[in-house]
Amino acid sequence: MADTSTDCLRVWPDREGALLRLRLNRPKANLCDAAMIAALHAAFDAHRAAPLRGVLLDAEGPHFSFGASVEEHLAERCAAMLASLHALILAMAEFPAPILVAVRGQCLGGGLEIALAGGPIFASPSAQFGQPEIKLGVFAPAASCLLPWRINAAAAEDLLFSGRSIAAQQALAIGLVQALADDPEAAALAYFDEHLAGRSAAALAQAVSAVRAPRVRELRARLAEVERLYLERLMKTHDANEGLAAFLAKRTPLWQHR
């Protein structure tokens, strides 16, 4: 398994090839834009057939990710952005090895959606999690499907409707986060060493498929549904376009509620 790093994503083997390391590498924002999404998707595709016992996804710098590029949410570009992000989400959900995620700092928007597509999340005590899209007059399509997998419906709706961020302790309490650690990468590696390194890669692949297959089938249908809702209804509203334009212009949006 070779190092196939790009300008925005570090990719390298660890634990004698048993663990694939992926690191978002454009601090401090680590935006999940078209280039980052393409690099992640290529990395998962390139290593799908490897005898892995796990993947560790983390990020360079003080923050995991501020989310997707707002410019790529504009009406003329959002169809391509959603298609590529949702293809990555499905590739991660179907990946034949557990995906561990280590989070420091802000984990927002599209960054949280990518983290949710993985497995257990290990977070620093100062980490913050949120889906702020509603503040821009839009919603988070992938998170609308993924959050109810990880937490209860009321907590998922709270994050999606309010757009607020929650601290790591609350994320732990609602089941969004697996464990808190001052060094979340080390905690994820310790989990891998204790619980996954000694397992059969073939058995793990089948175990992942067994537990995820029904949800993946549902996820594929739900992503297509929310993508249509986003493109055919939401982006035809005044407020979605106003909210995005206001954010880019650094002004307060003028909602018309239509």
> 41: pLDDT confidence band, cut at 50, 70 and 90?
very high
pLDDT band at 2 (very low <50, low <70, confident <90, very high): low
DSSP states of 162-227 as a string?
H--EEEHHHHHHTTS-SEE-SSHHHHHHHHIIIIITTS-HHHHHHHHHHHHHHHHHHHHHHHHHHH
- What is the spatial distance between Cα 85 and Cα 38, in angstroms, rounded to a whole number? 9
- What would the pLDDT profile of 152-208 be if each residue is shown by its tens digit? 999 999 999 999 999 999 999 999 999 999 999 999 999 999 999 999 999 999 999
How many of the other CB atoms lie within 10 Å of CB of 179?
A: 15
pLDDT average, residue stretch 81-109: 97
Please state the rounded mean pLDDT for residues 14-33.
96
Average pLDDT, the chain: 96
Residue found under tokens 């996820």: 219
pLDDT band for position 73 (50/70/90)?
A: confident
Q: Is the pLDDT of residue 3 over 90?
A: no
- Residue 4 clears pLDDT 80, i.e. is over it: no
Residue 22 identity:
L
Domains of the chain are 9-196 (3.90.226.10)
pLDDT given at position 168:
98
